[in-house]
């Protein structure tokens, strides 16, 4: 998907933007340490690194500024496929994760 990294469409931005932000190993460890200290998680395993399709669809649907609605798993999956093709998302088992390029696209 040429140009995706700099020209995210709104639906792509909403799907990508509802994945946990990419972090390198050091950033990941720092985030977990902070979340444990503040108390938003009680164990390191609770820190999200990705989301399942069902969880992501629920989150995007709950975003009242998104055009996607609950039950649109297939549409979200198709958008994730496009984002994967563009290198902005990667799949790890059942979970979709934001890549470094994905974060760069959202913060550019």
**Closest separation in Å from C-beta 5 to other proteins:** 13
User: Which listed residue (35, 82, 90, 101) binds other proteins by CB under 8 A?
Assistant: 35
31 binds other proteins (CB under 8 A): yes
Q: Looking at 1, 5, 41, 82, which residue binds other proteins (CB under 8 A)?
A: 41
The label of the residue with tokens 């979340």 reads 35
User: Which residues contact other proteins (rule: CB under 8 A)?
Assistant: 8, 10, 13-14, 17-21, 31, 34-35, 37-41, 46-48, 59, 62-66, 98, 103, 106-108
């Amino acid at each position: 998907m040429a140009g995706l990294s700099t020209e995210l469409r709104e639906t792509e931005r909403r799907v990508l933007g509802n994945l946990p932000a990419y972090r390198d190993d050091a950033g990941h460890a720092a985030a977990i340490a902070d979340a444990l200290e503040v108390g938003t998680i009680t164990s390191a395993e609770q820190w999200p690194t990705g989301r399942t399709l069902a969880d992501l669809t629920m989150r995007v649907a709950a975003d009242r500024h998104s055009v996607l609605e609950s039950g649109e798993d297939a549409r979200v999956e198709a958008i994730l496929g496009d984002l994967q093709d563009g290198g902005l998302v990667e799949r790890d088992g059942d979970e979709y994760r934001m890549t470094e390029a994905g974060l760069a696209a959202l913060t550019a």
